[in-house]
Amino acid sequence: MRIAIGGFCHETNFFSYVTVSCEEMTASTREGTALIAGCTGAHSYLGGFIDEAKVQDVEVIGTYYMSRKPSGPCDPKGVAYSHQRLPQLLWEAYREEPYDGIALFMHGGGAAEGFPDPEGTILEEIRKKLGYDIPIGVALDLHGNITERMVKNCNLLMGCKHYPHIDEYDEGRIMFRLLVEKIRGGYPTYQKLIQLPWLMVPAEGVTTAGAAHDVQQLCIAREAEDPDLLQASFFQGFPYSDVPDCCVSVITVAKTQESADRQASEIAHYAWSRREDFTVPKYSAEKAVDIALSMGEGPILINESSDNPGSGTPGDGTYLLRELLRRDIPSAYGFIYDPEVANQAAEAGVGATISCRLGGKTDKLHGEPIEIKNALVRCVSDGSFVQQNRMGLGNKNCLGTTVCLVVGNVEIAVASFRTQTFDEGPFVTAGIVWRNKRLLALKSAQHFKGWWADKVNGIVACDSPGVGSADLTTFRFKLANTDYYPLKDAHWEG
């Protein structure tokens, strides 16, 4: 058996000023054998496809894969190119030698000007070129915005189940195995999508406990109980993409339509009945620090979820860091994005002192730059480390030039690449010993918990102003449905 693999991965925060050019999209693209070589051994969806193919004795054919870190919108020309290129390479590979199925990873949270449903449009283009007979399986991120067009143009659509997404690799393997079994068994699969009138922010979605955990467990239990049910996925959606379908949804894949319909309906009703339990407190930086200091012995960790580059934000927001400096708390901040300051400190060298304006340079939404006088440069590094979080385990990361600035009792890691903090990597590469600190601070909504949860004595989320804020009333949506819960008291009966 032969299966073609590829995908399109971008989570778009339409409110973010961190945009992506065509050249940056091209630099984030792999085609053909380079795709296979680049993804082999990776702890990712595509790494899972490739490993499962070996187990199933299936040959994989690399086609096209564009994957960018979350950010603001991509250049529409680049998105248009992806729309054309992925179907084209799938078609060319098929014409050269027919294959038996297509396995794709698409984030599902993508959007660009004129492209409110990039993933659905790509799938539709693939169907136009290759027809409706070839089985197509699609794995998506739990923050995917799922549309009827996506469902109509594939046979097996499923998401990862955990947030933090520690199961990306496993879900890649499961999706690939189910696709192979469908092809070998020759049976049809039936899907049911239910969109709920509900906008859920990432800060509300952690699945290690609480309402999202309970819905996740229901999906897992139903898959175990019902022999006809192949997959049940609860997608939290990504409201910051500001598209018409950026809502919570449930999708099931089953061997009978009856099973798909019934299970989707019951899971959706349960999730909807629990919607108020997802609400999280929205603490300012000052309040979050107050609470953290009241929690006893350190280290207590504050995550600034409203400036989480994992949701496409700039990563140079200054609200929380300013508060730590104002109170001069023995703490470490890992990290703030500011390549200008990182380079200034690297040029000055270890042991030197510098004065600078730190952070707050991308836009005017995440706090003013902080005026820093006579900060000690204590460490300079290339920002390299290996990821220890189960999400992306073993991946080689590089934050570019990274430094540690010491200002009073606060140690600040300053780096040159926008990403969220998953584990201790950014602290360690900046030479910061975090274990003896009263407070730790970082930028992430939930993924950091995949490593930090059992290593600190408490966690407090900070929702300072920003384009990743949990307060949806602060956004001016254009395309998202603002009649949805929690903006309005939406009604849904199924």
Q: What does the binding site for Zn ion look like in residue numbers (CB under 5 A)?
A: 141, 143
Find the helix packing angle between 45-56 and 168-185, rounded to 10°: 40
**Cα angle for residues 230, 233, 235 (degrees, 5° grid):** 165
Distance of alpha carbon 234 from alpha carbon 268, whole angstroms: 8
Question: Closest-CB residue for Zn ion?
Answer: 143
Q: Which is nearer to Zn ion, 372 or 445 (CB)?
A: 445
Distance of alpha carbon 70 from alpha carbon 403, whole angstroms: 24
Nearest one of 318, 316, 322, 320 to 337, comparing CA atoms: 316
Query: Least separation, in Å, of the C-beta of 143 and Zn ion?
Result: 4
Residue 169: partners with Cβ closer than 8 Å, 6 or more residues away = 42, 43, 44, 45, 47, 48, 51
Q: Which is nearer to Zn ion, 238 or 333 (CB)?
A: 238
Q: In what order do the strands lie in the sheet with 101-106?
A: 29-31, 59-67, 2-9, 101-106, 136-140, 156-159
Query: Least separation, in Å, of the C-beta of 182 and Zn ion?
Result: 26
Report the run of H or E that residue 127 belongs to, with start and end. helix 118-130
Q: Which is nearer to Zn ion, 45 or 64 (CB)?
A: 45
Query: Least separation, in Å, of the C-beta of 165 and Zn ion?
Result: 6
Task: At 248, list the tokens.
Answer: 């919570």
Nearest one of 443, 447, 335 to 387, comparing CA atoms: 447
CB 72 within 8 A of CB 61: no
Residue 373: partners with Cβ closer than 8 Å, 6 or more residues away = 355
CB 375 within 8 A of CB 354: yes
Query: Least separation, in Å, of the C-beta of 289 and Zn ion?
Result: 28
Q: Which is nearer to Zn ion, 141 or 411 (CB)?
A: 141
Nearest one of 169, 268, 170, 166 to 207, comparing CA atoms: 166
Query: Least separation, in Å, of the C-beta of 204 and Zn ion?
Result: 13
Q: Which is nearer to Zn ion, 99 or 240 (CB)?
A: 240
Query: Least separation, in Å, of the C-beta of 350 and Zn ion?
Result: 37
Query: Least separation, in Å, of the C-beta of 254 and Zn ion?
Result: 25
Q: Which is nearer to Zn ion, 189 or 419 (CB)?
A: 419
Query: Least separation, in Å, of the C-beta of 44 and Zn ion?
Result: 13
Report the run of H or E that residue 231 belongs to, with start and end. strand 229-235
Residue 6: partners with Cβ closer than 8 Å, 6 or more residues away = 35, 62, 63, 64, 65, 86, 89, 90, 102, 104
Query: Least separation, in Å, of the C-beta of 323 and Zn ion?
Result: 28
Q: Which is nearer to Zn ion, 331 or 420 (CB)?
A: 420
Q: Which is nearer to Zn ion, 126 or 212 (CB)?
A: 212
Nearest one of 73, 58, 157 to 109, comparing CA atoms: 73
Distance of alpha carbon 399 from alpha carbon 415, whole angstroms: 6
Query: Least separation, in Å, of the C-beta of 266 and Zn ion?
Result: 25
Q: Which is nearer to Zn ion, 259 or 311 (CB)?
A: 311
CB 122 within 8 A of CB 87: yes
Query: Least separation, in Å, of the C-beta of 379 and Zn ion?
Result: 32
Task: At 470, list the tokens.
Answer: 């949990």
Q: Which is nearer to Zn ion, 60 or 467 (CB)?
A: 467
Task: At 174, list the tokens.
Answer: 């499961």
Q: Which is nearer to Zn ion, 143 or 361 (CB)?
A: 143
